[in-house]
Amino acid sequence: MLLEKNKQGAFVALGVLYGTLFAFGALFKLLLGTPVLLVPFAYYLTGIIAFTTHVLGHYRISERWFTAHTIGHHVHAYPPTRFVSDGFVNSPDPNDKFYGPAIFGPAVAAVVLGFGLSVGLVMAFTGGTAAWVADYVHTGLHLKEFWMDRFALFRELRRLHVFHHKGNFRTNYGIYDFSFDILWGSMRYA
């Protein structure tokens, strides 16, 4: 499998991700005086909430979220037999709004709990950026031709995402970071 063959590329990609998180943490420390570890903390806090939101979209806990995500995105827009298309097909009830609490909830909570506006802004920036990158990469995973196709790592992300759209839709919830799938036990390689 490509992931086994491309472990070095996967580790380089994770190194770039973590390096970027710490670089932004250092930048915000210089600009706003926030702790260096705030950006990695915000990234993983946002990630836990977004992962949980995604998982819940595959269970009938909220009928509207289940219908919008599992039925709208997985069954109608991108069933396993039509995983890619010429242009992105959105669900009739777009999924973005369901991720709002994951993106901005930690930032609002930080301000309300008295950690300060600068901490809230850094958390909002981190959550918003992570969500934008995930949405951008996710869109590319469903396009027949996407500029990242030339990279083996992107093609591997697409292959892993195909498994998410097959069967019961309860594997490989991650888009570009599968840390929580590994911890949750939902990672599937083949």
- pTM of the prediction? 0.88
pLDDT digits (tens, 9 = 90+) for 73-126: 988 889 888 899 998 888 777 788 888 888 899 999 999 999 999 999 999 999
Q: What is the DSSP string of 149-181?
A: GGSHHHHHHHHHHHHHTSTTS-S---SS--HHH
Higher pLDDT, 149 or 80: 149
pLDDT digits (tens, 9 = 90+) for 125-135: 999 999 999 99
Calpha distance 2→158 (Å, rounded)? 11
Averaged over 7-36, what is the pLDDT? 85
Taking only Cα atoms into account, the Rg of the chain, rounded to an integer number of angstroms, comes to 17
Q: State residue 168's pLDDT score.
A: 78
- Decide: helix, strand or coil at residue 5: helix
Averaged over 63-73, what is the pLDDT? 90
